[in-house]
Amino acid sequence: MSSNLTVPGNVATNPTSYQIRDLIYTIAGIFHTDSRLAFLEDRCGRRMKELNIPSLRQYHELLTRSASRTTEMHLLLNEITVGETCFFRTQAQLAALQRLVLPSLAAAKEKVSYKHLRLWSAGCSTGEEPYTLAIILMEEANRFLRGFTFEIIATDLNDRSLLRAQEGVYGEHALRHVPAEILRKYFEPVPDSTGFRVRNEVRQNVKFSRLNLLDDARMVFVKSLDVIFCCNVLIYFDGASKQRVIQHFHNNLLPNSYLFLGHAESLFGVHEDFRLVHFPGAMAYIKTPVKR
């Protein structure tokens, strides 16, 4: 798979960059186009400086041949998958979830004895998205979600981001869209700092874990989902990897459940068993049961 990814005629500043690019693609499905190679070299450079490795070729050997290659790949992935996010980031999408999707899911489950909702934030970065989802569900707990239990599964490839997410402490920038009342209700000030910590009642609804979306063996265990949020993650994946991940999402969602992607992300030409649904200012996909 790796050798044919290199575009003939394009010469990288360092040919080993292509080999590292292909290695990352094979392991994590993240593909760096030629225009992103400089970024990749920069992130490798950070690790090389830390380890005092003088050349990219030697670093490639560390990633492929040393006993610590798995650990080092984790650390390199931490460098290249840091996402900028904040609470209540995509407001139209969240309004659609709160005002249209959740009431419709709740109504469909009204006759079921076990009233439970399971949401997955796939590519949760430092935790802002899954905590936002938990807060929205908690806000509705005394309205149309009365009698429901719920859980938010939050996964990311970057274990450094996950540590920060579990810590649950955020500064002004991450909290800039949080309404004052929500801040007071679901966050507590951190003594001797300007930061706020997500209250335990919210944290206990969110389960964080490290997950590579291309890890087929583990992806099959994230089952029976009502909603998946996977925003601005698949943009780093090439067509084949994207298809693989979306097929997993399709398998993991319950029938007529929802997949939210980033604003400009489309499943056109990727997967046919989802139907696009338009909400005010936002779009999502509904899983169509497979015809047999």
Partner 1 sequence: MPAMSLTDLQRRVGGLNQLPSLPAILFPVLNQLNGNTDNIDLQKTVQLVSNDSALSTQVLHMANSPLFGLRQRVSTLRAAALTLGIYRLRDIVTSCCLMQISPTRKGEWNATSFWEHSLACALISRNLARRLNYVEPERAYLAGLVHDLGILVNMLLMPREFSQVFKIAAESARPLRDVELEQLGISHEITGDLLATQWHLFDYLAEVMRRHHEVENATIEPVLTAIVNIADLLCRTSSLGYGYAEYIAVTLQDEPAWKILSAESPRLHNLDMVCFTLEIESYVKEVRALVSVLFRL
Which parts of this chain interact with partner 1 (CB under 8 A)? 96, 99-101, 104, 263-269, 275-281, 283, 286
| Nearest distance, CB of residue 268 and partner 1, angstroms | 4
User: Residue 121, by phi and psi: left (phi above 0), alpha (psi -120 to 50) or beta?
Assistant: beta
Instruction: Please identify, using beta-carbon distances, which residue of 86 and 286 lies nearer to partner 1.
Output: 286
Residue 101 or 211: the one with the smaller Cβ distance to partner 1 is 101
Report the alpha-carbon distance of residue 262 to residue 264 in Å, rounded. 6
Minimum Å gap between C-beta 269 and partner 1 is: 8
Nearer to partner 1, 247 or 288 (CB): 288
> Given the complex with partner 1, which of 222 and 284 has the nearer CB atom?
284
Measured from the CB atom, the residue of 99 and 207 that comes closer to partner 1 is 99
Residue 261 C-beta: closest distance to partner 1, Å? 9
- What minimum distance in Å lies between the beta carbon of 95 and partner 1? 8
Shortest CB 201 distance to partner 1, Å: 28
